[in-house]
Structure 1
């Protein structure tokens, strides 16, 4: 049997080195060519050639000489952060959020609107309108935008830009990338929202410098973004990370996927709200009735206030959800043995009430050999992590992906992933 040897072309090596320097400049800030050479083991002539190329692409710039005590003053380089602007979009079950950001993940402008009509064409029109609004209000030309990144819940074909199955929208194989590109006239990258959140953590949050980690998004649904060897793990049919639809309880409630006892049906934001609404209607004593008298109108914000006030029904419901979350996280850790699990989503607002029970249940169920060097933490990225993650689809391409820098910077040119 013969084995083929993969040869790395000169162009591939050149691209790798270009993006390596961009990553160093992102992480280290202003730096000299001499220091770049020491950090990469590339020769000074090679570093000089790459910095000239990056300057010609308008991605970095020379900021002058640095004053040192002795010897020649070195010329310093840094990223030209506004040379690569992208827009992140998240389509949720009842709202759309759009954010404009630069290559360092700084969100320059963002906007959110309610969206009750979930027909694909209506959603695409609304996204296009929001993009136009945000560009106008941010005084930014469309020609300055390198692309649109979209994060969606459910199963997403990231290669072909298809929303395969988002249960909260009731879509079926919707070509959302095509719909958006036709309206906005900018290239679009699409992925599952848990994967985009993992990218946000990888580039800007708790996943930096980690080889393998998992982002668990506990919001109106539950899902995981899995990073293995520094890359997203999508699975054979883009279904990896659907921990929300793993059955945790045989006698649990009905889930949106049609099964009973799924983690999402027990521990998601929607599950918590529905449990409290149901028990208030059944007459369980709770101070939440003083915050919102109509059980049908109880929201996650009312629940947060009730928890802060020490309401027993609310705290018991949160502990119940946290118990099953701990089991779910232990499953992920037992399967993947990651460096870290980062919890994101609405549950972050309740961390002081749920983390104790969650960690207790997790420690009881996780293999001890898998937690020796393991860390469980809440995300520090804040409530704009979703649009940051969506935009990070392009930021990942800039700093690490296979797309050439020329293609990425060429307006409206399709990008091959």
Structure 2
């Protein structure tokens, strides 16, 4: 009979099965900063021998490095050199497929953007993936500076089946059952990680952002696609056929926006970037329906632009509060473009969500951690998540 009672750990922290001890060591050093081997052992519950073995492997792979000894009087015995993440050798590569743009990015092992470029998205799925195959080699050759690549992430909105590497449905792009991984795998010698951008951002927030000290997190993404991701136990919930987090058709009371699904007032149709810039253009706030123009005006404190973003946040807040109350995470992250350029709008988000929710003490409600780099970070998040979970399975290639 299956027991739901945890086994005793005799004072040691149980390790996640995925990645084993090496992954646990790497993630603890990422979360804790420079740490000595004894500190790693205390944080992970691993024996000194296991810590020594795993750190030696991770140093050999170029994932960890020893720092010089700290200043101070010398101590008897072997010096305890701090360990830190080694960002000198490897990069994660990724592509975010958006409605207006394709964003190409390189991130280091601490999730920092090393390089990014964007080109207009044009044509259907075959044209887009042909453009990705064509641009990726030159981008990495020019911008990776000889560092090895850990993998290629491909991230977009809508319904993405991560296990099969298929974009099942992306309404704004008009994509259905596009086998992205199969179509791109031949263009690279590296693993191709395909994911939806809400799940990708949830992974990034857990590794490098607001959720780095948490295991329970909900990520709400508001763009041309509106969707959510749920992290529990430090892992991101996929759901059947990777469909968990599909909230784009939640009703918005009072909205008369037509949705492609045939109904009116769906969340995505009401608050998407497309709907927002249409309203901005109609009201004369921007000369054309362009999100970059609207963001520039909001960043400059333009009252009418800020009011449009404030109204969007008021419409998003009930859905965010519903996620907070129903799922009860430690952290709720809402990634929305206006909050990336205006601290005022980040404050509006916080107040509006809490006005509709019943938060518990200690719960964090926050805007996304990555500002205007959000799409670049999302593009590479799956590659970095895989590296930190299964470092001993890494397969790298030099950019050329």
Please give the range of the TM-score, normalised by the shorter of the 2 chains: 0.7 to 0.9
Assess, with a 3 A threshold, how the Cα gap between structure 1 residues 407 and 253 changes in structure 2: closer, same or farther: same
SS in 1 for 2:204: helix
Counterpart in the other structure of 1:274: 278
| CA–CA separation in structure 2 for the residues paired with 1:78 and 1:16 | 19
Aligned counterpart in structure 1 of residue 136 of structure 2, from 131, 138, 143: 131
Q: How far apart are 1:364 and its partner, in Å?
A: 4.1
For these two proteins, the number of residue pairs brought into alignment is 386
Q: How far apart are 1:319 and its partner, in Å?
A: 4.1
User: Larger relative CO (CA 8 A, sep 6+): 1 or 2?
Assistant: 2
Question: TM-score w.r.t. structure 1 length?
Answer: 0.82
Counterpart in the other structure of 1:362: 353
Assess, with a 3 A threshold, how the Cα gap between structure 1 residues 323 and 121 changes in structure 2: closer, same or farther: same
Counterpart in the other structure of 2:11: none
Q: Deviations over 1:86-145 (max 9, x none)?
A: 20210001210111122111222111111221x22211121122211212212545x821
Q: How far apart are 1:317 and its partner, in Å?
A: 4.1
Q: How far apart are 1:275 and its partner, in Å?
A: 2.4
Q: Is the Cα contact below 8 Å between 1:177 and 1:188 reproduced in 2?
A: yes
Q: How far apart are 1:196 and its partner, in Å?
A: 0.7
| CA–CA separation in structure 2 for the residues paired with 1:151 and 1:67 | 44
Counterpart in the other structure of 1:175: 179
| CA–CA separation in structure 1 for the residues paired with 2:202 and 2:18 | 27
Q: How far apart are 1:164 and its partner, in Å?
A: 0.2
| CA–CA separation in structure 1 for the residues paired with 2:50 and 2:364 | 39
Counterpart in the other structure of 2:170: 166
Structure 1: give runs of 5+ residues left out of the alignment.
281-285, 413-417
SS in 1 for 2:40: helix
Name the structure with the higher helix share: 1
Q: How far apart are 1:211 and its partner, in Å?
A: 2.1
Q: How far apart are 1:321 and its partner, in Å?
A: 2.4
What does residue range 63-102 of structure 1 map to in structure 2 within 5 Å?
A: 63-69=67-73, 70-72=75-77, 73-102=79-108
Q: Which moved more, 1:81-90 or 1:314-323?
A: 314-323
Assess, with a 3 A threshold, how the Cα gap between structure 1 residues 160 and 130 changes in structure 2: closer, same or farther: same
Assess, with a 3 A threshold, how the Cα gap between structure 1 residues 146 and 302 changes in structure 2: closer, same or farther: closer
Counterpart in the other structure of 1:283: none
Aligned counterpart in structure 2 of residue 202 of structure 1, from 183, 206, 224: 206
Q: How far apart are 1:65 and its partner, in Å?
A: 4.2
Q: Deviations over 1:331-378 (max 9, x none)?
A: 111221122221213232575565566555534432x3x344322211
Superposed CA RMSD in Å reads 3.0
Q: How far apart are 1:272 and its partner, in Å?
A: 1.5
Q: How far apart are 1:411 and its partner, in Å?
A: 5.3
Is residue 2:334 matched to residue 1:339?
A: no
What does residue range 8-407 of structure 1 map to in structure 2 within 5 Å?
A: 15-69=19-73, 70-72=75-77, 73-117=79-123, 119-138=124-143, 140=145, 144-249=148-253, 252-278=256-282, 280=283, 288=285, 292=287, 297-304=288-295, 308-311=301-304, 317-349=308-340, 351=342, 354=345, 358-359=349-350, 361-366=352-357, 368=358, 370-400=359-389, 403=390, 405-407=391-393
